[in-house]
Each structure stands twice: as C-alpha cells, then as structure tokens.
A and B are shown apart, each in its own frame.
Chain A
Amino acid sequence: MATTTTVLESMAKPAVAAAFSRDVAVNDAAEFAEVAARYRPQIFRFLLASLRDPDAAETLTQDCLLKAHRNWTSFRGESSVMTWLLRIAINLQKDHWRSRRLQFWKLTSNNSVDAEDASQWLPSGESSPETQAVAKDQVRQVWKAVKGLSERQRTVFMLRHVEEMEIHEIANTIGLSEGTVKAHLSRAMVRVRAELGGRR
C-alpha cells in the first residue's frame, strides 16, 4: 500500500510542480501589474522633470516598466521597488541622452519644453496674483538653474527636491556613496541659490 502511494506521489509531482509554477507566474504577473500601476506616475514625473519632454518621458516610462517586467522574477527585494524602478529609469535616461548626443540630426525634432513653458504650472495653493507672480518667477528661476546643471547633479537634485528622497535612498538608487551625493547636491544648490539671487 505504501509503495503504491509513493508511486502515485512521484507521478503527481511534475503535475503539481507545473501547476505551482503556473500559479507563481500568474501571481507574479498580477503583482507586477499592481506595482506598475502604483509607481508609473512617479517614474513618469521623474523622467518628465529630467527630460522636460512629455513624449520622451512617456516612452522611457514604458521602456522602464517593460524592462522591469522582464526582470521582475530576478528582483530579490534588496532595495525598495521604487528605488529599483528609478535605477532602471535613470539608466534609460542616460542611454537616451547618449543616443540624442550621437543623433545630432534629431536635435531639430526635439520636443523638450522650454523652462519658461514648464514654469507655467503653478502651485495650486497660490491665490493672489502677487503671490502667483512671485511663485511663477521662482519656478522659472529654479528651472533655469536646473538647465545649467550636469546630468548627475540634475538627477540628484530632482530625486531630492521633486521626489523628496533621502540622501541614502538617492545614493542607493544612483549607486554612489552618500558623500558623493551630498557633494553633487551641494553644487546644484549653489547654482539654484545663485539663480535665486542669494549667496553663493
């Protein structure tokens, strides 16, 4: 009797394993769909702020999620999902700048929005025309300063002041030490302060 049970168990094992892997795959897909829906706006926002090009930001967001989907099973949760996704987005953004630099003939078809236009989006809380004008001017000045930053400084600045990430999170995302991140951020802030008319 015991032998028969063992034989039946061994016969059933591949079927159970297949069903299990199918369940895992279905769970993975459902889990990833949830992750994509949750973090997509944030990835898009970071890319939009970095590139100032809505079309490129949308394309890179799609690419980022596609890449993440392909590697979802290998994601071991050593960092947070957002950090992992932003790391992919930053790498894609680097590739994007590199290819744009090489494809110089495409510069004419660049869709990036001018800093002036980007500063049209005002914080919703500003009510009076005076405060609105001041806020608009400040946003324009920050955009102008951001435009003059290096790629890495801009990335650090955006992660800190747009995504409100902590220094250690930024370091983890970009793959730099906390000291280097602080140095980049400090240089970026010097530029922003200078643009805002303050001390250097």
Chain B
Amino acid sequence: MNFEEKNREIEDLKVESALRNFRESVHGWSEHEFSKLRTIKRSRWEAMCVVLAKPAMGWALGCVLMVSSVGIPVTVHHQRQLVAERNAQQLRQQQLAKQAVEQQATLAMTDDELLRHVDSDIAQDAPDAMQPLASLMTDASTR
C-alpha cells in the first residue's frame, strides 16, 4: 500500500465518520423536535374560547351577511320611494299654486268687467229740466 492509497483510506474514513456523525446528529435533533411537538399546551379557558368563538363567529358573520344582503337593498328602495313621493308632492303643490294664480287672475278680470258694466248701466245724462240742480250739486261738491 503506497502513501497515496493510505491517504485516501484515511480520508474515506474521515468522510465516513463525518457522515455518521451528521446522521446521528440529524436523528437526535429530529427526535428532540418530534417529542417537543407532541406537548402542545393550551389552557382550558383558551380551548373553551376557541370552541365557543368558532360557531359564534360563524353566526355573527352569517347575520352580518344576511342583514347587509337584505337590509341594504330594502333601505335603498325605501329611500327611492320617499324621494319619489316628495317630488310628486312638490309637483302637485306647484300645480295647485299655478291653478290658484290663474283662478285669481280670472276672478280679477271679471270684477273689472262687472264694474264697467255697472257704470255703463247706471250712468245716464241728467234731463234738461234738471240741469240747474245738477250744476248746483257740482258747485256744492267743489266747494
């Protein structure tokens, strides 16, 4: 056996030993971690909270979804109805006001015409025989 072969043999032994140490180290680490993972500690209170919170959260989420999916469209629809009603009422009021103005204008015109009629009906010239009296009345009224 020459020097090179001896050297190679020593080296192989070294690598072999390193690999064995590595394997045993990994096995040891794994066993430690594996046994550590088995001891999961959770307090009774915490466990109860988890057990209770899960269904409660589910229900709460369900309720929120239900309310939002039904309530929002209903509210929007109601708001639209209110706005439409308000608009219709305003329109009706405007129409009524317009009608009232028109009616008043018509009434005003008829009063004037009536007065004119009355004037034309009542007014007549004084007879000649009554003229001195009529002039007296105008004198007295001017005085």
- Is residue B20 within 8 Å, beta carbon to beta carbon, of the partner chain? yes
Is B11 within 8 A of A142, CB to CB?
no
- Is residue B114 within 8 Å, beta carbon to beta carbon, of the partner chain? no
Interface SS, A side: helix
**Known contacts A193-B15, A199-B8, A199-B11; is-contact A41 B22 (Cβ 8 Å):** no
Q: Which residues of A contact B29 (CB under 8 A)?
A: 48, 118, 121
Is A196 within 8 A of B24, CB to CB?
no
Interface residues of B in 18-45 (CB under 8 A from A): 18-34, 36-37
A196 vs B18: C-alpha distance when bound (angstroms): 8
Is A139 within 8 A of B37, CB to CB?
no
Q: Which of B15, B18, B30 has the most CB of A within 10 A?
A: B18
B-contacting 9-mer, from A2-10, A28-36, A98-106, A122-130 = A122-130
Q: Which residues of B contact A118 (CB under 8 A)?
A: 25-26, 29
Is B37 within 8 A of A124, CB to CB?
no
Is B14 within 8 A of A198, CB to CB?
yes
- Is residue B17 within 8 Å, beta carbon to beta carbon, of the partner chain? yes
Is A123 within 8 A of B28, CB to CB?
yes
Q: Which residues of B contact A57 (CB under 8 A)?
A: 33
CB distance from A40 to the nearest CB of B (A): 8
How many B residues have CB within 8 A of the partner chain? 24
Total A-B Cβ pairs within 8 A:
82
A159 vs B88: C-alpha distance when bound (angstroms): 83
Is A139 within 8 A of B34, CB to CB?
no
Mask for A93-134, Cβ within 8 A of B = 1, else 0?
000000000000000000000000011011111100000000
Is B19 within 8 A of A58, CB to CB?
no
A75 vs B25: C-alpha distance when bound (angstroms): 33
**Known contacts A198-B11, A198-B15; is-contact A54 B37 (Cβ 8 Å):** yes
Interface residues of A in 181-200 (CB under 8 A from B): 189, 192-193, 196, 198-199
Is B23 within 8 A of A161, CB to CB?
yes
Q: Which residues of A contact B32 (CB under 8 A)?
A: 121
A135 vs B26: C-alpha distance when bound (angstroms): 13
Is A41 within 8 A of B34, CB to CB?
yes
Q: Which residues of B contact A121 (CB under 8 A)?
A: 25-26, 28-29, 32
Q: Which residues of B contact A135 (CB under 8 A)?
A: 21, 25
A57 vs B32: C-alpha distance when bound (angstroms): 13
**Known contacts A118-B29, A123-B28; is-contact A44 B22 (Cβ 8 Å):** no
Q: Which residues of A contact B30 (CB under 8 A)?
A: 41, 44-45, 48-49
Q: Which residues of B contact A44 (CB under 8 A)?
A: 30, 33-34
- Is residue A151 within 8 Å, beta carbon to beta carbon, of the partner chain? no
4 A-B pairs with the lowest CB-CB distances in the bound complex, closest first? A123-B24, A45-B30, A138-B18, A121-B29
Q: Which residues of A contact B (CB under 8 A)?
A: 41, 44-45, 48-49, 54, 57-58, 118-119, 121-126, 135, 138-139, 141-143, 161-162, 164, 189, 192-193, 196, 198-199
List, sorted by A's number, 27 A–B pairs whose CB atoms are closer than 8 Å. Answer: A41-B31, A41-B34, A44-B33, A44-B34, A45-B26, A45-B30, A48-B26, A49-B26, A54-B36, A58-B33, A121-B25, A121-B28, A122-B24, A123-B24, A139-B22, A141-B18, A142-B18, A161-B19, A161-B22, A161-B23, A164-B23, A189-B15, A192-B15, A192-B18, A193-B11, A198-B11, A199-B8
